Amino acid sequence: MCLCGETNCLATYNNMEKLRIVFMGTPDFAVGILDTIYNSQFEIAAVITAPDKPAGRGQKVSISAVKTYALEKNLPILQPTNLKNEEFLAELASYKANLQIVVAFRMLPEVVWKMPKLGTFNLHASLLPNYRGAAPINWAIINGETETGVTTFFIDDKIDTGAMILNKKIAIDPNENVGQLHDKLMHLGCETVIETLELIEKGDVTTTIQTETSDLKTAYKLNKDNCKIDWTKSGNEIYNQIRGLCPYPAAWTFIKDGENEWNVKIYDSKYIEEAHTYTIGTIISGKKEMKIAVANGFIQIESLQFPGKKKMQIHELLNGTQISSEAFVK
């Protein structure tokens, strides 16, 4: 069996073979990996990224972080809307790449991932087979994990299920947020991708099939519902959710104060374990601090964002906004 899990493929490539790579990715996480490859000895033939799209109130055209980088480096760029389009496939084939790398991109059709003779591998920001899916970094923190990592694997016809090449672990600090962990994993991912490339170039890859068990955890796509805070959960669970969604997309809640009700994003917080007699969800605020009563303690809010306002530190909010003793979250 070959490196990519197919028979009659890489088993014949045991000698050094110069790599010619097509890189696929879209967000900032992918840029760090692309930059590392670009500054190594490996050749990048082309870059594939998401199509430009209008964004924001003015609907100004927004381009992906990967496209921005590729333009700076004068790398050929492909932005297909349909990955099965014959013109796109012909253009992709014209670059004569023998390997493709995917980092934070969409699911590929078989005709694309099978195109290069050395296969297509993905860098995924979790220790597979756990946290397959769209938001592995967020869910590792939300679920209170103490370690995570990155995995390279050869793509197959399902999502994040292919034969694993390398994985590397990293500890999750009990107080770090998803933005901080994202950056740590990007650096770890850079090292892992380069090591993977070196193994493939030497024809020295040993893959491991992912084990399917009933207790695997999934990295579900984030949406408005799973980002809303459930204040009946334990203080630790709420704290993990807030830091697992900070700075993006941010956990949110409703604050109700008399006739006023606001949809508020909560960014930075602390969990204070402490016995109390407040009703869960009660807001306790002073001149410089705000905390919310939860089971076994309080969530102390350090920064948040009200509708139509910029993100503020809590003391900035309380300088201009009065929160009554009747206020609560829901």
pLDDT mean over 61-88: 97
Q: Taking 80 as the threshold, does the pLDDT of residue 4 lie above it? A: no
Task: Please give the Cα distance from 140 to 244 (Å, whole number).
Answer: 8
Task: Please give the Cα distance from 175 to 246 (Å, whole number).
Answer: 11
Q: Taking 60 as the threshold, does the pLDDT of residue 5 lie above it? A: no
Q: Taking 60 as the threshold, does the pLDDT of residue 125 lie above it? A: yes
The whole-number pLDDT of residue 16 equals 73
Q: Which helix (H) or strand (E) holds 140?
A: helix 136-142
The whole-number pLDDT of residue 220 equals 96
What CATH number belongs to 10-202? 3.40.50.170
Domain spanning 224-329: CATH superfamily: Formyl transferase, C-terminal domain (3.10.25.10)
The whole-number pLDDT of residue 191 equals 97
pLDDT tens digits, residue range 142-169?
999 999 999 999 999 999 999 999 999 9
Q: Which helix (H) or strand (E) holds 235?
A: helix 235-244
pLDDT mean over 214-238: 97
- Cα distance between the two ends of the chain: 55
Strands (E), the chain: 20-25, 43-48, 53-55, 60-62, 77-78, 99-103, 120-124, 132-133, 147-154, 164-171, 218-219, 251-257, 260-266, 269-273, 283-285, 290-294, 297-301, 303-305, 312-313, 328-329
Q: How confident is residue 329, by pLDDT bands cut at 50, 70 and 90?
A: very high
Tell me which of 8-17, 81-90, 211-220, 239-248 is least confident: 8-17
pLDDT mean over 236-265: 97
Sheet holding 328-329, edge to edge: 312-313, 303-305, 260-266, 251-257, 328-329
- Torsion sign, CA atoms 242, 245, 247, 250: negative
Q: Which residues fall within 8 angstroms of residue 88, CB to CB, at 6 or more apart?
A: 78, 80, 82
Both tokens of 154, joined, read: 């050869």
In the chain, where the domains are located = 10-202, 224-329
In percent, the amount of the chain with pLDDT more than 70 equals 95
The whole-number pLDDT of residue 15 equals 58
Count other Cβ atoms within 10 Å, centred on residue 276. Answer: 16
pLDDT mean over 207-215: 96
Measured CA distances, 155 to 48, 86, 174, 197 (Å)? 16, 21, 32, 15
Q: How confident is residue 1, by pLDDT bands cut at 50, 70 and 90?
A: very low
Q: Are 82 and 91 in contact (CB under 8 A)?
A: no
The whole-number pLDDT of residue 320 equals 81
Task: Please give the Cα distance from 324 to 330 (Å, whole number).
Answer: 16
Q: How confident is residue 10, by pLDDT bands cut at 50, 70 and 90?
A: very low
Amino acid letter, residue 256 = K
| Averaged confidence pLDDT in the chain | 93
Phi, psi of 82 (to 5 degrees): -130, 115
Give this prediction's pTM. Answer: 0.92
pLDDT mean over 187-215: 96
Cα–Cα nearest to 130, from 142, 140, 121, 138:
140
Q: Taking 50 as the threshold, does the pLDDT of residue 12 lie above it? A: no
Q: Are 280 and 294 in contact (CB under 8 A)?
A: yes
